Homo-oligomer: A and B are copies of this chain.
């Protein structure tokens, strides 16, 4: 805004968020509210996608879509508000597979997406169209239109992400995580457009699981390299708070992979990629000793205000780093 001295010119730019499912979508919602209509692109992990009951299920894309469109169930944390489960019940009576819960409304997204994929549309085009249909004024895009599948290697053998996460409830010890198909995948055109935008304000790595949700995105050839050479600041929000992860298996996996559950581990993980890390006030003491610029704020997102406040802090931090870079 011309003449607004409290807001840098870059504040009108575009924000690119990298995001997995539930935890990441919370910050994406904050960024959606704080970055301005049409100024947010969310690049979403599709390593968790899987074929189930003959349908293409894309859990993280749907979580982001439901969250930004206001359709998400705020209490359950996944799926749609006011959902019904009559399909699942009827499927169970037929002896079908019911370990992965698909709500009646949610099913519409899977059936329609599968139909359109089979008709030759790309996941990128379908995600954009669904977001538009549900009146989301942000770009929601898969990391790639090619098939990349997260494989969790455990003492019981390799398993797909959903088998690890839902069927086995993250119980198996994680020895190694691989992204099948990543080496041949191409980044979504939406990503290429976003990083080519001269008005790109910041890239935000949401506090999703670094190993399971962000690494698949970074495994797509070209994405990590493009982010490393970007002029705009790249900021990560640490998923670690006081030696624990807020939700999900992040802390458990960090331990199983032999890493300390600290923000320092997160910095090392995103080494060379990020310009700054946002950490929680509980870890304020780490700020000066983890070898990267830090912003300290409340990172636990319980209310919508928490999401917006964190998004505002993240963007202010990014704008500050951008200003420093300009004047350097």
Contacts and interface: CB of A to CB of B under 8 A. Distances in A.
A54 B87 contact: no
Contacts of A94: 108-109, 112, 130, 133-134
A104 B86 contact: yes
A68 B167 CA distance: 35
Interface string A69-101: 000000000001001101111110111100000
Nearest to A56: B54
B133 A112 contact: no
Given A86-B104, A104-B104, A54 B91 contact: no
B104 A84 contact: yes
6 contacts: A54-B111, A54-B115, A54-B118, A86-B104, A87-B87, A87-B111
Most-contacted residue by chain B among A93, A96, A108 (CB, 10 A): A108
Copies in the complex: 2
Nearest to A102: B111
Interface residues of A, number: 32
Contact of A93 (B88, B93, B106, B133): B133
Given A95-B129, A95-B133, A129-B95, A89 B112 contact: no
B86 A112 contact: no
Q: Which 9 A-B pairs have the closest CB atoms?
A: A90-B108, A90-B105, A91-B108, A104-B104, A86-B104, A54-B115, A96-B112, A86-B105, A87-B104
A290 interface: no
A231 interface: no
Nearest to A105: B90
A35 interface: no
Interface in A221-238: none
Interface of A: 53-55, 80, 83-84, 86-91, 93-96, 103-109, 111-112, 114-115, 118, 129-130, 133-134
A97 to B, nearest CB: 9
A87 B107 contact: yes
Contacts of A80: 90
A131 B308 CA distance: 53
Given A91-B112, A94-B108, A96-B108, 17 more contacts: A53-B115, A54-B54, A80-B90, A84-B84, A86-B86, A87-B107, A87-B108, A90-B105, A90-B107, A93-B108, A93-B133, A93-B134, A94-B112, A94-B130, A94-B133, A96-B111, A104-B104
Contacts of A118: 54
A133 B87 CA distance: 16
Given A54-B118, A84-B86, A86-B84, A91 B111 contact: yes
B129 A105 contact: no
Nearest to A85: B104
A55 B118 CA distance: 12
Contacts of A55: 111
Contact of A111 (B53, B83, B89, B133): B53
A107 B107 contact: yes
A103 B87 CA distance: 9
A105 B87 contact: yes
